[in-house]
Amino acid sequence: MKKILLGLILACPAAWAVSAPTGFTVVSASNNQVQLSWNASGPDANQYIVERRAIDSSGFAAVATIDPDSSKALAATFTDTGFDPFTAYVYRVRAANSAVSPADVSDPTGEVTVGPPPYGYTRVVPTPGHVDSPGQFGANAQIILDSSGDPMLTFLNIDPNSDRNFSDTEIRFVRWDRAHSAWTKPVLVAVSDIDSSYSYNYSYRLAADAATGALAIVYIDNSDLSTNLISIADSTDNGITWRRRKVVSGTHSYFVPAIALGNGQVYLTFSENVAGVRYVTGKLSDSPTSWSIETVPNLGMADYGIGSDIALDSDGKPAVAYLLSGADYRAVFYRPGTAPSVANISTAAPGEDWQIRLAFSGTNPRIAFSGRLDSHYSEDYDHLLFLIASSDSGTTWNPRANIKSDGGSFISGPLDLAFDSNGAAALTSREGGGNAPGELCGYPKLSLSSDLQTWNTCGITSTIHSRESSSGVRFAANGTLYLTISIGQYPLDPTDPSELAAGLYFWRGPVGFQFPAAP
């Protein structure tokens, strides 16, 4: 009899055993909340315990205990709001029967990871095996940040089938999915022979509307060989689907489009052969046929440079930067509806492969320029990049500052320019060769400055030496750097750990990033 009783007593814990929840998933995630859900456990569960750990930590801790509500319903959901948006976390859930003592707790569910991209290099998209040109895949990669501060990228896949017919060149879009801690599958935005004109024809640009979440890409559209086109593709579902519309068409060639979005409004610039630099604006939701168009002021100069840029200041007001030529060469800053100001005058021709980029630190504009701005251009490699800055919203301009290269390397466009909350600047450029023995750093080339006068140019690591091209940079809200990087057909030597496999990469720097010591 005692043996039977003992057997019953020993069997009791098994009767109390609680099964683990199933179907644990992330419903959604942003920089301020993570919504989790799971399937309910069996009838013995009267409590759920949500556990979390930072991705670089080994120990889980309970972040929530979910009890039945007043109607005795036990929710199988939880929304976490108490976390660092710049840290990735691993979540899991246990079911419990708290009516027994000690409480019976189930095994944990499977784990899910939520958060921003990891530090260091991440290969976003591998280069397809058939690609035979280093600049063919991932070209002109660009970066913007979504409402959670996570990266969204666009890139070109030039002549995907390598038949030397560029009419099938693709614009593709990919973004970081915080809810699944992974990059999304690249989405095809548009197909066109968009990169077969001039070498300085940076033929598409990406923008996001911080107020509405809309995305848009403006691009040179050569899909209709009977006419020249500027087209726009826009998305309202985080880049899953895209709508394509014609902006302008005509017999003149178009060059170097740029775009900005804000509060439902679209702002465009592009160069039109003969006509000059054009400024276009209207509601993104309206037909482009209703958008207004004007030619920016020429200040009595003979010609417009091919290329311009547009950006919004912290108040959401647009401005355009462009080049005029005549007896001299002038970089001009123009807020539509007001008088333009001359940011720089140079007696040196800008060269054939110059580029101009506009960005704001608050309401103060900064213009980055790749090309000739002084007579020292041919003397060394330290007179290729310049920054022109204003401290009074563009009324007056400081003398241009030279951005020195890394040793004897040739650095030029495509450019990108970004500022942190303290006004410090980061500029990316393309390394194009030069006096290799004079170089001190690796790749890709990044230029940093805290005062916009003194610049340091170096590589972002001392261990990776693949010759990379970086054409996109942003500061996250906590000051970390985000870069887009395109790497050609590497590794040249699969046994060399300093080389990376070919593809489109993203790089996240640490807080307070400092250049590594030169090897």
From first to last of its 519 residues, the chain has per-residue pLDDT tens of 444 433 333 344 444 579 999 999 999 999 999 999 999 998 889 999 999 999 999 899 999 999 998 888 899 999 999 999 999 999 999 999 988 888 899 999 999 999 999 999 899 998 887 666 656 788 889 999 999 999 999 998 888 887 778 888 899 999 999 999 999 999 999 998 775 544 545 789 999 999 999 999 999 988 887 888 999 999 999 999 999 999 999 998 899 999 999 999 999 999 998 899 999 999 999 999 999 999 999 999 999 998 899 999 999 999 999 999 999 999 999 999 999 999 999 998 998 778 999 999 999 999 999 988 888 877 777 888 999 999 999 999 999 999 988 876 777 778 899 999 999 999 998 776 666 566 677 778 899 999 999 999 888 876 676 667 767 999 999 999 999 988 876 556 777 777 788 889 999 998 888 887 765
pLDDT of residue 438: 64
Beta pairing class for 408-419 and 401-403: unpaired
Tokens of 38: 């799971």
pLDDT of residue 434: 63
Spatial distance between the Cα atoms of 429 and 140, rounded to a whole number of angstroms? 11
pLDDT of residue 388: 97
Q: How many DSSP H helices and E strands does the chain contain?
A: 1, 37
Beta pairing class for 215-221 and 468-475: unpaired
Q: Single out the residue of 363, 338, 457 nearest to residue 405, CA to CA.
A: 457
pLDDT of residue 110: 96
pTM of the predicted structure, to 2 decimals: 0.91
In our burial notation (b when 16+ CB lie closer than 10 A, e otherwise), range 442-478 reads bbbbbbbbeebeebebbbbbbebbbbbbbbbbbbbee
pLDDT of residue 398: 97
The number of residues in the chain equals: 519
pLDDT of residue 11: 41
Spatial distance between the Cα atoms of 108 and 438, rounded to a whole number of angstroms? 57
Q: What are the backbone dihedrals phi and psi of residue 419, each rounded to the nearest 5 degrees, phi first?
A: -135, 145
pLDDT of residue 135: 66
